Structure formats: structure tokens, C-alpha cells
């Protein structure tokens, strides 16, 4: 007779996870009483591909386990199981040897449950049977070799079957996907799910014999309806869970039409038929994803509107529109580099417009614009083209060397210009920089020679203050005016950096200030104490280490272009074969972090910097884990590359 | 000492002076486990007792919780829990700690019955407890009263074992008091703490700690029973 207290403890743990959460108390108790608690260290193999099945199914309680398949003598990662995942159960259904090798990815606590009990459970509880059937119907997990591979796959997946092609620029017609996957309404739910998995599509349309649409099933239907029903999915026809009738349209819709239709109907899938009614055959399918990305293919509409604004007051609403675009992009999982390009374009357009308003109003106030060329610099994240949410503005003005008699007038004019532009940006929701790094500050509105002096000082006598500036100023990017001034400054900086090797080491050391958390328990990755206790600081713990590393390498390798962190890593991968894979992985990692942060910020209406780990879903947690490993590798590489272990203090 | 105690107990069994369950326990320990027994082959019983107080001479056991580890895996099915009805309600202070109320105790086993079932549960195993000396001592007191008997099992103290694993066998460094408390060790080995201060709850936590320590021992090439007793 097992100890009730201990059985209850195990029960409580299992109840966190499906399908155990659906079991009756007695059922769960009888299962918990049979649990064997196993502890595994990193690198241990639990079972190998081809082994005869062990008499246990495994549930990960803490830690994570990777499943590998062997292809051409290479181990390919096919799935990651973390807290709450069940593995090693396929043979319950297939009575076969293990089809994969399970290797412990980090020290783990695992509940092993005797297979006999599992079988009884499946036989007596239809809910549980369905849970597993649906799991397996969804097909094998994608083969993911590494982060890079996984993301490439995901991109492919996102772009391949449904890349809308814009017909004309103005009407913005969406071309529907032509190769729609269809089936008869009489096939079983399981079979339909299988077809979707095989064809790699998110929806399938039920059609009559002459291809008239009757109903539709999407991924969401499978998740929500299938797991909730109590009968056999092998025998029940797909028509029982399909959404019917299907909303049919003709094939000549514009994006605007589709957006209005989507809002009106609340639907996410529209079936294109020959004459637009359900009484003709299916020729295509348009999903919400197609609509949003189609619009995204042409943010030029938004930029056009900004450029045509007649007054400052017209700009803030346009910037709001960009925010809405951002929301829908994130929901649609549009590639981050695409999103940040769009947002950067919009922000730059606003700066350009703010600039022309400022110049016009200075002229109206009777100022004479000096004959001195100048350049508006965006700094920090905006300089790196990676501001998704509107954070504080950082900017500066750089102007060419004026003659002594021009100097005073130029200084006064550019300061007034900086003041006006920053005010407009504040009106558009770009908050004032608390450290006052703005073109309206006399300190940061300077001729080229002064800027060179600044940088020279930062490079030759690196000090903590210089480092703070490094992350802002060393990421400058010309947005308006004479780009050659910015180029000249960049050339100068690279020259100085090469001369003073100590600076690079200093920067590199600084890039290691935040070692990534490597969690065994989820709550180990959070900040202790203070206002954000129990939250995870994604900016300083994950993004900054990567962003800093990219900056150091860019300056060390003498890369002249004005790049985002991701682009920097891509460039580094090109220039430095030894770092290729790590840099590529870091680029991916950084994009994911940007996405997580932006989504979190939009959800909570803040900067998105602090994340409650309990609000992350399983995939996000796994992804973060992988990212931490990438960061750790990068930091180890830095230690060796810059011999930082020898530098003290 | 142990040898004579066993002999005496066996003679009393032969004369039919001890209950059959107790005699089965005695016979299971006729020969100690061989020193070269592999740790993976040993059945460990990790246990904890709740008592009416801390004086082994006068206080009594009010509950025992235990769970077995074999092949380094915690076997929930092979666990044990008992409440003991004690006539003398112990000192009032310890009641809040273990939260066992008088009404629960009314449902509980007699002390003799509980001891007999615990003995048959632990027969032939190695006992493990945190600060095991106290638990063994108070068990021996009770066993002495009823059966004129002592625990014959080999015993491992997880506090000592952790010290040994962390600092090596000949470490003479003084350790800070509290560094090897159950709470501190759980923090160090990242074991989440639930149900503290119930005998089975503490036993389950101690089992998870011992499980990790066994792994560390194996990594240090400590493979047999003889090396850790």
C-alpha cells in the first residue's frame, strides 16, 4: 500500500499536464501510485532507436530531453520534450521498437509510468485515447537539426504554400493559393488530419464529387474539436467537425475588400470558387495570413501617406497605423527582418517629414538656413534598424565644418532644427530620451571635427561612461542629409579602433557582463528583488549580450555598413568562416528575441522588456533555452578570441 | 555488538517469543549485505519520523513515512506511511510543526502494529534518513520497549553522505552549521520543496536528494556499498 501523501504529491505534479488533467481523481491516483521517479544527468541516453520498448512511458517533470532520429549516420533532432511532455509512448499504438533515441539535454527529473497502466487508461478513458490519437495524427514532429535549421524550416513552411503574389501595385489583388487541398466529407477525422500533415497545410476543404465546397477544417478545429469529443476519430466522418457552409468569394478581391470581409465575418479562411458561390467548383483559398502579408508586401501605402502629410498633426495617426500593422504582422508570424524593415521605413519617413516641417517652420520664423551640409543620425536601436515598438528616441546632428564666421549661426540653426524635429517625434509617440541623447542637446549637435574628437576620446580612454555611449553612438545611422559625412565619421572610427586594440578588448569584456541564465527550473531565470522580481529581463539578459557581441565583431572586422544586429551577424558569418555557424545562429536568436519582446510589449502596453516566464508557452521556453545556449557559446568564443581571462578588473 | 544482538533475537524467535513478522525481519538480517554489493542493486529505504519531541528517552514516534529507491529510481509504489496512536500526547510545541491532529491520531495504528509493519517493509534494505542518528535512536527506543530489539539495517545519513560527496572522504574542514540542513541541500541541488514536515513528504524530498547524491557518487567511481557505509 503506497503512501498517500507521496502519491498525492505525484498526482499534483501530473495534474499540471494534459492529458492527466482530464483524469478522475481515482484514475490519477492509481496511475500516480505506480510512478517511478528517475533522475538523469545531461547527456544520458534513456533509450536508443531500434531498442525493444521498455515497459514504461516517460513524462518530463523537470528539465528537457531531446529525441533524435538517425539519418545517414547522423543524429537529427526531431523533437524536444520539456516539462509536461510525454515520450516513448508511440509503441503503445504501433507495438514497435523505439523510432528515435532519447538523450537528456539538461539534468532532468522524469516520471516513468508502467506501460500496462497506460494501456488500461487508454482503453477505459476515450478522452485519453483521443489525446494520443490526435497527437499522432498530427504527424511526426518536424525534423529540426539545430536552431538555424529549425528556423529555416519554419520560414520555408511559412512562405512556401501560400506566398501571395501581387498582381498590380494599385489594386493590390491577392492571388489565391491554387493547389487547395480537398477531400470528401465522408473520410474519417484521422484521415483528414493525416492528409493535412502530409501535405503540410493548415486547412482542408470538404468538397462534393464535382468539387463544390461543403465545409472546411483548420488546424484550430483539430486542436479544439477533436480533443474535446469523446468518440473514435478513426470512425467518425470529418463532416461532423467541419465548419459549414464555407464562405465563398470570387477571385478578384483586393486587399481592402478582404480586410473588410474578414472584420465583418470574423472568419479567417475564404474559399475562392469559379463564380463566387458555393454552387461552383473550388479554385483557390485565401487565408488571413495571405491577406495580412499581402498588405505587408506593400507598406508603401502607409509611407506614401506619411510623405503626403500636410501638417505635423497628420503624422501621429499614421504612426498608430504602423503599430496596428505591427500587431497583425506579429500575429501572422511574419518574418522579423521584414517587420523591422517596414517599421524602420515608416520611422525614417516620419523623420524625413518632421525634418521638412521643421525646415519650413524655421524659414517662416525668419531663420536663414546656413550653407553648411548636415546629416541627421539615428542612434541606438533606431540606428540599428531594430526598433519595433516605440522606445525612447536617440538621435544627433552632424554637420560639416563651418567657416569661423558661419560657426555661430550654424550652431544656432541646427540646434533649433533638432529641437523642432525631436518635438515632432515626441508628438508621434517617441518618448524623450532620459539621458538626453537627442539632437536638441547642444552636446550632440556638433560639427564633424567635434564628433571625431568625441569618438577618439571614447576609443583611447575607455571608461564606463564611454561604454554606455558605445551602445548608443557606435550604432549611428544616417537618416537624412549628407550621408558622406556619416561615412567619413565611420571611416575615422574604424581607423582609430584598429590603432587602439585595447578598445576592442574593452568592449568585448563589456559584452560578457550578462551571462545568460541556464535554467533547470523555470523560476531560476528571473530577476531577484526590485520592481521586476520574478520576471525575466529579456533585454539585458538575452538581447544585449548578442547585440554587444555583434557590435564588437563588426568594429573589429572593420565593417563599414550601417547594419542591424541580425545583418551584422550575417556579415560576420560571411567574413569570418570560423564564426559562421555561431553567427548565423545568433542572427536567428536575435530575431526571435525581438519577436518575443515586441509581442510581450504589445500585450502589456509597455516596452516588453520584462517577461513573466509563466506566460511563455512551451515552444517559447524551449526556444529561449536554445538561445541561452547560443549566447553562452558566443561568450565562450569571446573569452578565447579576445583572451579576456587575462584581463582583470 | 550487532552480532550478539542478532543471535539473541534469533534465539528468542526460535523460542516463539517474538511475533512472526519481527522474526522474518531478524532472519532477513542474518547476514549483512556484502560490501561489494553494487549500489545500483541495493534497495534503499529513505524514511523520516515525526515525534512528540526531541528527547529520544521520553518522546514517542507519531508517524513514519518512507519510500524505496532501487536501481537509483524512486519507486512510488514501494512507499510506506503510518500514523501511530500514542496514549501520552506529547509536548504541545511539536504539534504545530507536523500538523497531526488528535483526531487523526485516533484513526492511527497501535505503536506495536506500526513498528511491525515498518520492520517488514524495511527488511533486507539499507536505511537512509537525513540526520539519521536521531530517527534510528528513537526507533531503537520503541523497538526495545516492545521487542527488546534494535534496527539491524545498515544506515546512511544524507547529511554525512552529501558532505562526503562534496568534500571527499577525509575532509576535516569544519562545515557551517546549517550548510547541510535538508532545506539548504534542497536549495543547492534544486529540489523543489513541498509537504515539508510531514514524515512521508520529508521522506520523498530526502529520497530525491539521495537519488542525486547517488548519481554524483557514481560519477566519482563510488560504486559499492562498502565504499559509502
Classify burial at B30, counting beta carbons within 10 Å of its beta carbon; exposed 0-12, middle 13-18, buried 19 or more: exposed
Q: Which of A100, A130, A105 is nearest to A42 (CA)?
A: A105
Give the number of other CB atoms < 10 A from CB of residue B11.
10
Q: How far apart are CA A390 and CA A347, in angstroms?
A: 9
Q: How far apart are CA A83 and CA A105, in angstroms?
A: 12
Q: Which residues of A332-367 are buried (b: 16+ CB within 10 A; e: fewer)?
A: bebbbbebbebbbbbbbbbbbbbbebbbeebeeeee
Q: Which of B107, B111, B22, B114 is nearest to B59 (CA)?
A: B111
pLDDT band at A404 (very low <50, low <70, confident <90, very high): very high
Secondary structure element (H or E) that encloses residue A583, with its range:
helix A580-604
**DSSP 8-state assignment for residue B172:** -
pLDDT of residue A522: 39
Q: How far apart are CA A258 and CA A107, in angstroms?
A: 50
β-strand pairing of B61-70 with B44-51 = antiparallel
Chain B residues closer than 8 Å to A523 by CB = none
β-strand pairing of A477-481 with A203-207 = unpaired
Nearest to B67 among A6, A32, A520 (CB): A6
pLDDT band at A409 (very low <50, low <70, confident <90, very high): very high
pLDDT band at B39 (very low <50, low <70, confident <90, very high): very high
Q: Which of A11-15, A296-300, A436-440, A615-619 has the lowest mean pLDDT?
A: A296-300
Residue A585 and residue A578 in contact, taking contact as beta carbons nearer than 8 Å: no
Residue A139 has pLDDT above 50, yes or no: no
Residue A421 has pLDDT above 50, yes or no: yes
Residues 6+ apart with CB under 8 A from B75: A36, B67, B68, B69
Q: Which of B204, B88, B64 is nearest to B139 (CA)?
A: B64
The 8 Å CB, 24+ separation contacts for A260-265 are A262/A288, A262/A291
Residues 6+ apart with CB under 8 A from A6: B65, B67, B76, B79, B81, B200, B201, B203, B204
Q: How far apart are CA A397 and CA A359, in angstroms?
A: 14
Residue A103 has pLDDT above 50, yes or no: yes
pLDDT of residue B1: 63
Record: contact A9-B195, CB cut-off 8 A: yes
pLDDT of residue A147: 38
**Interface mutation target, options A1, A4, A5, chain B, most CBs of B under 10 Å:** A5
CA distances in angstroms from A322 to A301, A338, A388, listed in the order given:
11, 13, 10
Q: How far apart are CA A625 and CA A401, in angstroms?
A: 50
For residue B31, which phi and psi values (nearest 5 degrees)? -115, 135
Residue B97 has pLDDT above 60, yes or no: no
pLDDT band at A231 (very low <50, low <70, confident <90, very high): low
Residue A441 has pLDDT above 90, yes or no: yes
Q: How far apart are the first and last CA of chain A?
A: 61
**DSSP 8-state assignment for residue B39:** G
Residue A327 has pLDDT above 90, yes or no: no
Residue B26 and residue B34 in contact, taking contact as beta carbons nearer than 8 Å: no
Record: contact B208-A520, CB cut-off 8 A: no
Nearest to B211 among A2, A4, A39 (CB): A39
Give the number of other CB atoms < 10 A from CB of residue A188.
17
Q: How do residues A31-87 score in pLDDT, each as one tens digit?
A: 999 999 999 999 999 999 888 888 898 999 988 888 888 777 777 777 778 888 888
Domains of chain B, by residue range, sit at: 1-227
pLDDT more than 90, % of chain A: 34
Residue A351 and residue A378 in contact, taking contact as beta carbons nearer than 8 Å: yes
Nearest-CA distance A51 → chain B (Å):
20
Chain A residues closer than 8 Å to B198 by CB = 5
Q: How far apart are CA A350 and CA A307, in angstroms?
A: 8
pLDDT of residue A290: 72
For residue A226, which phi and psi values (nearest 5 degrees)? -75, -40
Q: Does A560 touch chain B (CB under 8 A)?
A: no
**The listed CATH number (3.20.140.10, 3.40.50.80, 3.30.420.10, 3.40.1160.10) that belongs to domain B1-227:** 3.30.420.10
pLDDT of residue B139: 97
> What does A6-21 look like in DSSP terms, one character per residue?
HHHHHHHHHHTSTTGG
- In DSSP terms, B224 is beta-bridged to B38
Record: contact A9-B198, CB cut-off 8 A: no
Q: How do residues A506-559 score in pLDDT, each as one tens digit?
A: 889 888 887 766 543 333 445 555 676 667 888 888 899 999 999 999 999 999
Q: How do residues A623-636 score in pLDDT, each as one tens digit?
A: 777 788 788 889 88
| Dihedral angle sign, alpha carbons of residues A338, A391, A475, A539 | negative
**DSSP 8-state assignment for residue B29:** T
Q: What is the mean pLDDT of residues B135-140?
A: 96
The CA-CA-CA angle for residues B201, B206, B209, to 5°, reads 135
Q: Which of B137, B188, B155, B120 is nearest to B46 (CA)?
A: B155
Q: How far apart are the first and last CA of chain B?
A: 17
Helix axes of A404-427 and A336-364: crossing angle, nearest 10 degrees: 120
Q: Which of A564, A556, A560, A561 is nearest to A593 (CA)?
A: A564
Residue A54 and residue A90 in contact, taking contact as beta carbons nearer than 8 Å: no
Q: How far apart are CA A403 and CA A385, in angstroms?
A: 34
> What is the overall mean pLDDT for chain B?
88
Q: How do residues A165-218 score in pLDDT, each as one tens digit?
A: 222 233 345 566 667 889 999 998 888 888 887 887 888 999 998 899 999 988
Chain B residues closer than 8 Å to A524 by CB = 190
Q: Does A256 touch chain B (CB under 8 A)?
A: no
Residues 6+ apart with CB under 8 A from A80: A64, A65, A66, A67, A105, A622
CA distances in angstroms from A545 to A308, A524, A573, listed in the order given:
40, 19, 17
Q: How far apart are CA A335 and CA A231, in angstroms?
A: 39
pLDDT band at A226 (very low <50, low <70, confident <90, very high): low
Would you list which residues of chain B are within 8 Å, Cβ to Cβ, of chain A?
65-67, 72-81, 190, 192, 194-195, 198-201, 203-204, 207-208, 211-212, 215, 219
- In DSSP terms, B63 is beta-bridged to B50, B83
Nearest to A39 among B65, B78, B215 (CB): B215
Give the number of other CB atoms < 10 A from CB of residue A25.
9
SS3 A431: coil
Q: How do residues A454-500 score in pLDDT, each as one tens digit?
A: 999 888 887 777 777 777 899 999 999 999 999 999 999 999 998 87
For residue B104, which phi and psi values (nearest 5 degrees)? -65, -40
Enumerate the H helices of chain B as residue ranges.
2-14, 20-28, 94-98, 102-106, 111-122, 132-147, 158-167, 182-188, 199-219
Q: How far apart are CA A395 and CA B73, in angstroms?
A: 61
- B72 → chain A, closest CA residue: A38
Q: Which of A147-161, A448-462, B180-194 has the lowest mean pLDDT?
A: A147-161
Q: Which residues of A489-501 are buried (b: 16+ CB within 10 A; e: fewer)?
A: bbebbbebbeebe
Q: Which of B180, B184, B188, B137 is nearest to B158 (CA)?
A: B180
Q: How far apart are CA A214 and CA A245, in angstroms?
A: 6
Q: How far apart are CA B227 and CA B229, in angstroms?
A: 6
> What does B182-227 look like in DSSP terms, one character per residue?
HHHHHHHTT----STTSHHHHHHHHHHHHHHHHHHHHHTT--BGGG
Q: Which of A90-99, A165-174, A388-397 has the highest mean pLDDT?
A: A388-397
CA A563 to chain centre: 19
- A109 → chain B, closest CA residue: B208
Residues 6+ apart with CB under 8 A from A107: A39, A40, A41, A42, A63, A520
Q: How far apart are CA B38 and CA B71, in angstroms?
A: 10
The 8 Å CB, 24+ separation contacts for A502-507 are A502/A462, A503/A458, A503/A459, A503/A460, A503/A462, A504/A552, A504/A555, A504/A556, A504/A642, A505/A642, A505/A643, A505/A644, A505/A647, A506/A462, A506/A467, A507/A462, A507/A467, A507/A470, A507/A548, A507/A551, A507/A552, A507/A555
Q: What is the mean pLDDT of residues A282-305?
A: 70
pLDDT of residue B28: 93
Nearest-CA distance A526 → chain B (Å):
15
Return the CA Rg of chain A: 29
Residue A11 and residue A28 in contact, taking contact as beta carbons nearer than 8 Å: yes
Residue A413 has pLDDT above 80, yes or no: yes
pLDDT band at A138 (very low <50, low <70, confident <90, very high): very low
Residue B175 and residue B185 in contact, taking contact as beta carbons nearer than 8 Å: no
Amino acid at each position: 500500500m503506497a503512501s498517500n501523501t507521496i502519491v498525492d504529491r505525484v498526482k499534483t505534479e501530473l495534474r499540471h499536464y494534459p492529458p492527466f488533467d482530464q483524469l478522475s481523481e481515482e484514475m490519477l491516483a492509481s496511475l500516480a501510485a505506480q510512478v517511478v521517479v528517475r533522475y538523469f544527468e545531461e547527456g544520458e541516453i534513456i533509450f536508443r532507436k531500434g531498442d525493444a520498448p521498455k515497459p514504461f512511458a516517460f513524462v518530463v517533470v523537470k528539465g528537457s530531453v531531446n529525441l533524435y532520429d538517425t539519418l545517414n549516420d547522423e543524429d537529427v533532432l526531431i523533437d524536444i520534450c520539456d516539462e509536461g511532455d510525454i515520450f516513448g509512448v508511440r509503441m503503445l499504438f504501433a507495438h514497435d521498437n523505439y523510432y528515435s533515441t532519447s538523450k537528456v539535454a539538461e539534468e532532468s527529473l522524469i516520471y516513468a509510468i508502467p506501460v500496462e497502466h497506460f494501456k488500461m487508461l487508454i482503453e477505459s478513458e476515450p478522452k485519453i485515447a483521443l489525446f494520443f490519437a490526435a497527437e499522432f495524427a498530427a504527424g511526426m514532429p518536424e525534423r529540426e537539426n539545430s536552431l538555424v535549421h529549425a528556423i529555416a524550416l519554419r520560414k520555408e513552411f511559412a512562405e512556401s504554400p501560400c506566398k501571395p503574389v501581387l498582381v498590380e501595385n494599385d489594386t493590390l489583388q491577392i492571388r489565391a493559393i491554387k493547389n487547395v487541398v480537398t477531400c470528401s466529407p465522408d473520410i474519417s477525422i484521422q484521415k483528414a488530419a493525416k492528409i493535412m500533415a502530409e501535405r503540410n497545410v493548415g486547412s482542408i476543404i470538404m468538397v462534393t464529387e464535382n468539387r463544390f465546397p461543403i465545409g472546411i477544417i483548420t488546424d484550430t478545429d483539430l486542436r479544439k474539436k477533436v480533443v474535446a469529443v469523446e468518440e473514435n476519430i478513426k470512425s467518425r466522418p470529418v463532416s461532423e467537425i467541419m465548419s459549414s457552409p464555407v464562405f465563398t468569394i470570387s477571385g478578384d478581391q483586393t486587399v481592402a475588400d478582404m480586410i473588410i470581409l474578414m472584420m465583418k465575418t470574423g472568419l479567417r479562411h475564404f474559399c475562392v470558387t469559379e463564380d463566387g458561390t458555393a454552387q461552383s467548383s473550388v479554385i483557390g483559398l485565401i487565408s488571413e495570413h495571405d491577406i495580412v502579408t499581402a498588405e505587408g508586401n506593400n507598406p508603401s501605402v502607409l509611407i506614401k501617406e506619411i510623405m503626403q502629410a500636410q501638417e505635423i498633426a497628420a503624422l501621429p495617426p499614421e504612426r498608430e497605423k504602423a503599430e496596428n500593422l505591427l500587431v497583425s504582422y506579429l500575429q501572422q508570424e511574419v518574418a522579423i527582418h521584414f517587420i523591422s524593415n517596414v517599421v524602420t521605413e515608416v520611422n525614417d519617413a516620419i523623420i524625413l517629414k518632421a525634418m521638412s516641417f521643421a525646415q519650413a517652420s524655421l524659414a517662416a520664423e525668419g531663420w536663414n538656413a546656413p550653407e553648411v551640409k548636415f546629416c541627421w543620425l539615428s542612434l541606438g536601436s533606431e540606428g540599428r534598424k531594430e526598433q519595433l515598438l516605440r522606445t525612447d528616441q536617440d538621435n544627433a546632428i552632424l554637420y560639416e565644418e563651418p567657416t569661423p564666421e558661419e560657426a555661430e549661426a550654424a550652431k544656432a540653426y541646427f540646434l533649433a532644427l533638432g529641437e523642432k524635429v525631436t518635438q515632432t517625434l515626441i508628438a508621434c509617440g517617441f518618448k524623450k530620451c532620459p539621458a538626453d541623447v537627442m539632437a536638441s542637446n547642444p552636446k550632440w549637435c556638433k560639427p564633424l571635427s567635434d564628433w571625431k574628437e568625441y569618438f577618439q576620446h571614447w576609443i583611447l580612454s575607455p571608461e564606463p561612461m564611454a561604454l554606455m555611449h558605445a551602445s548608443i553612438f557606435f550604432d549611428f545611422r544616417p537618416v537624412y542629409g549628407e550621408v558622406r559625412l556619416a561615412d567619413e565619421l565611420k571611416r575615422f572610427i574604424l581607423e582609430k579602433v584598429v590603432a587602439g586594440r585595447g578598445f576592442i578588448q574593452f568592449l568585448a569584456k563589456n559584452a560578457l557582463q550578462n551571462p545568460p541564465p541556464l535554467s533547470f527550473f523555470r523560476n531560476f531565470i528571473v530577476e531577484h528583488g526590485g520592481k521586476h522580481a520574478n520576471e525575466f529581463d529579456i533585454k539585458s539578459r538575452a538581447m544585449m549580450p548578442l547585440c554587444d557581441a555583434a557590435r564588437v565583431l563588426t568594429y573589429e572586422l572593420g565593417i563599414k555598413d550601417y547594419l542591424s544586429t541580425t545583418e551584422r551577424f550575417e556579415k560576420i558569418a560571411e567574413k569570418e568562416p570560423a564564426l559562421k555557424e555561431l553567427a548565423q545562429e545568433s542572427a536567428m536568436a536575435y530575431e526571435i528575441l525581438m519577436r518575443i519582446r515586441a509581442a510581450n510589449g504589445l500585450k502589456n502596453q509597455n516596452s516588453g522588456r520584462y517577461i513573466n516566464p509563466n506566460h511563455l508557452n512551451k515552444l517559447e521556453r524551449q526556444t529561449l533555452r536554445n538561445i541561452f545556449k547560443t549566447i553562452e557559446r558566443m561568450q565562450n568564443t569571446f573569452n578565447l578570441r579576445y583572451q579576456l581571462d587575462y584581463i582583470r578588473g | 555488538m550487532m552480532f550478539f544482538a542478532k543471535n539473541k533475537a534469533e534465539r528468542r524467535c526460535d523460542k516463539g517469543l517474538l511475533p512472526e513478522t519481527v522474526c522474518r525481519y531478524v532472519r532477513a538480517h542474518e547476514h549483512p549485505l556484502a560490501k561489494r554489493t553494487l549500489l545500483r542493486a541495493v534497495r534503499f529505504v529513505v524514511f523520516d519520523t515525526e515525534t512528540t519531541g526531541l528527547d529520544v528517552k521520553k518522546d514517542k514516534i507519531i508517524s513514519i513515512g518512507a519510500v524505496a529507491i532501487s536501481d537509483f529510481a524512486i519507486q512510488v509504489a514501494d512507499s510506506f506511511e503510518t500514523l501511530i496512536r500514542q496514549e501520552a500526547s506529547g509536548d504541545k510545541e511539536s504539534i504545530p510543526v507536523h500538523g497531526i491532529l488528535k483526531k487523526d491520531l485516533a484513526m492511527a495504528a497501535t505503536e506495536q502494529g506500526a513498528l511491525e509493519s515498518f520492520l517488514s517493509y524495511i527488511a533486507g534494505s539499507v536505511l537512509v534518513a537525513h540526520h539519521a542518528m536521531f530517527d534510528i535512536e528513537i526507533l531503537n527506543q520503541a523497538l526495545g520497549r516492545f521487542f527488546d530489539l534494535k534496527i539491524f539495517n545498515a544506515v546512511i545519513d544524507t547529511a554525512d553522505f552529501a558532505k562526503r560527496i562534496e568534500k571527499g572522504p577525509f575532509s576535516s574542514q569544519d562545515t557551517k552549521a546549517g550548510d547541510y540542513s535538508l532545506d539548504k541541500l534542497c536549495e543547492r541541488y534544486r529540489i523543489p520543496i513541498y509537504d515539508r514536515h510531514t514524515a512521508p513528504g520529508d521522506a520523498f524530498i530526502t529520497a530525491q536528494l539521495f537519488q542525486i547524491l547517488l548519481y554524483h557518487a557514481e560519477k566519482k567511481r563510488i560504486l559499492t556499498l562498502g565504499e559509502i557505509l
